[in-house]
Amino acid sequence: MLKRTKGRLLLTLLVVTGMAGTLNDASLGSKERKFAVQHLKETKANLLKSVKGLSEAQLNYKPAADRWSVKECFYHIILAENGLWAMFEATMKTPATPEKRSEIKVTDEEIVKMISNRSQKAKAAEPMLPGKATWQNMTEAMAAFKASRGGHLKYVKSTTEDLRNHVFQLPFGSIDGYQFLLFMSAHSDRHTQQINEVKADPNFPK
């Protein structure tokens, strides 16, 4: 009886102080989690499909001297994803900054559309250039991508971290941790499109 009374008292206090409604607010909602998982899975599948069965000649073909080959695009995707994930983990280890949420001016959908949009060109950071890759071949690179993306999916499926209240400062503005994950996934889609552009070149090896 005493335990039951204490339990009711605790629940009452939580409701009165507003804590009962915020205990799980830090976790992703089911729709958010489902969308992120689906997007990560789809971009993974599309990327792997885009390079499946390609010969060395096809992987290394460059439409022009200043354009990347399929292999270079693939390498860049993994390098960028590794770099972005390291940035994500570092920021998530710092205290949450809910007071900065007002600085976020974009929606989740806008982040995905903006990063996936190939009409807006951007220059890759030096550490993420294809020449920085250490994989000996595409087999190694594909294994690395599958392993890293598998880990990211596992994280998104189970995390209870406060993604929304960790704010990242990027060159184009502020986004939260959840949006950062969508940014990473959309980035792979952006360069999968680039791979398909290379494959559509009239001189692409048959």
What CATH number does residue 70 fall under? Answer: 1.20.120.450
Inside any domain, residue 195: yes
Inside any domain, residue 34: yes
Q: List the domain range (segments joined by +) for residue 72.
A: 27-199
The number of folded domains in the chain is: 1
Inside any domain, residue 204: no
Residue among 141, 144, 154, 158 at smallest CA distance from 72: 141
CA–CA distance, 144 with 150 (Å, rounded to integer):
10
Note the pLDDT of residue 124: 86
Inside any domain, residue 18: no
Inside any domain, residue 206: no
Q: How far is C-alpha 98 from the geometric centre of its chain's CA atoms? A: 21
Inside any domain, residue 19: no
Inside any domain, residue 21: no
Note the pLDDT of residue 26: 58
Inside any domain, residue 6: no
* pLDDT tens digits in sequence order for the chain, 206 residues long: 444 443 343 333 223 323 333 333 457 899 999 999 999 999 999 999 999 999 999 999 999 999 999 999 999 999 999 999 999 999 999 999 999 999 999 999 999 999 999 987 778 889 899 999 999 999 999 999 999 999 999 999 999 999 999 999 998 899 999 999 999 999 999 999 999 999 999 999 99
